[in-house]
Amino acid sequence: MEPRDDRTESERDRWAISDEAYQELKEAHAAVVKEFLDPETKLPNVIGLGIGVRLVGGDPERGIIGEPTGEPALQVLVTRKLPREALADNELIPPELAGKPTDVNEVGRPMPAALTQRFRPARGGCSVSDASSSTGTGTIACGGWSTSLSFMPGGLKEPLLLSNNHVLADSNNNRRGEDILQPGYGDGGRLPADKIGELWDFEPIEFFPPLPLNQHSNYVDAAIARVDQFAYLDRQIFWGGYVRGEIRSVSKGLLGLPVKKLGVPVSSRLGQSSISTRLFPASHIRGASGRSSLTRS
C-alpha cells in the first residue's frame, strides 16, 4: 500500500519536478554538498542541503511553510532565516550552487523529542532511553514485531520498538541486552519499574574522530529494542494512529507529501517532504554528519 496523498492535482503539480530537472539537481547536490557543509567553512545557521522546489510566502514564526512554485531548487536548510541587513556579505547564501538556484528554508534545529509520561502500552512519540542515559532521553519512533521466525532467538516472534542509535545504544557504546526505559531516564524513568525492554540491534554511526566529517556516510540514526511484553507497546503513533502504507524507495514523486513530526517541545507539527537532504550535524550528535532521505519540518 502506498502512502496516502490527500493533495489536490494542482498542489501535486506545483511540487512536481521533471526527470531531467531532478537528475540535474541530484548531480548539482552531489557536486557541492561536501564543501558547502564543511564544518570549517560552512555559513552561519546552515545545517542542511536538499533537493526540492522553491517555496514562497512562508512564515516560520507562524508555522507557515510556504507555497511551492514548481521551480526546481537546491534547498538550503537553516536554523533561523535572518534579514539581509543582519548578515555580512561573506555570510550570504549564494543565489546559485553548481549552476542551480538555491532556496533558503528555516527548519529550526533538529532535536530528540518525547511525550514524557509513563505509558503502557507505549506508542510512537513517547519518551524512551537506555537505562544509563548518558546522552539523554529520546523518542519512540514506532512499534512493530519481527516478521521472520528466525529473527529472534528460539524462532519467536516478539514486539519491537524503533528509536535512534544515540537514544537506545548511547551512540554505539551500548551492547545488546542493555535495559531500555519508558519513560526515558531524563523524564524520571528508573529500573526496575519502568523497564520496557532490551536493546536488540543498532546501525553504527560514523564519528569524527577518527573519520573526517566529509567522509561520513550516515544515512540513519536508528536502533531497535525487544519489548518485554506485547501489552507494553502499541503500534499506533500518538495523535497519528496507525502507519498507513510504506515507502519502498525514495523518489521525486514524494516531494511535498504531507509529513508530521511528533514529540516535545513541538507536540505535533506538520510539514512537507524534500528529497536527498544532508544535515550537519546529524540530529544533535556532536562529531557526526549525516544524510536523510525525507526531511522537511
Grid coordinates of 140: 519512540
Share of the chain above pLDDT 90, in %: 26
For the ranges 37-41, 57-61, 102-106, 177-181, the lowest mean pLDDT is seen at: 57-61
Instruction: Give the residue with greater pLDDT, 71 vs 114.
Output: 71
Whole-angstrom distance, CA of residue 197 vs CA of residue 180: 5
Answer whether 224's CB lies under 8 Å from 201's CB. yes
Bridge partners for 202 per DSSP: 223
Confidence of residue 241 (pLDDT cuts 50, 70, 90): confident
> pLDDT per residue over 57-75, tens digit each?
877 666 666 788 889 999 9
Task: State yes or no: pLDDT of 20 exceeds 70.
Answer: yes
Mean pLDDT, the chain, as a whole number?
77
What are 176-217's pLDDT values in tens digits? 999 999 999 988 899 999 999 999 999 988 787 777 777 777
* Averaged pLDDT for residues 83-97: 90
**Which residues, including other chains, have CB under 8 Å from residue 101's CB and lie 6 or more apart?**
54, 71, 72, 73, 74, 95
First to last CA, the chain: 24
For the residues 26-52, what does the mean pLDDT come to? 89
The torsion angle over the Cα atoms of residues 45, 105, 73 and 267, rounded to 10 degrees, is 120
Q: Between 252 and 223, whose confidence is greater?
A: 223
Q: Is 201 helix (H, G, I), strand (E, B) or coil?
A: strand
pLDDT reported for residue 219: 78
Of the candidates 204, 221, 200, the residue with the CA atom closest to the CA atom of residue 130: 200
* More confident call, 295 vs 44: 44
Residue with cell 519467536: 156
What confidence score (pLDDT) does residue 29 get?
Answer: 92
Tell which residue, 1, 99, 124, 102, has the closest CA to residue 46.
102
Under a CB-based contact definition with an 8 Å cutoff, are residues 55 and 42 in contact?
no
Distance, CA of 188 to CA of 119 (rounded, Å): 13
Rounded CA Rg of the chain: 20
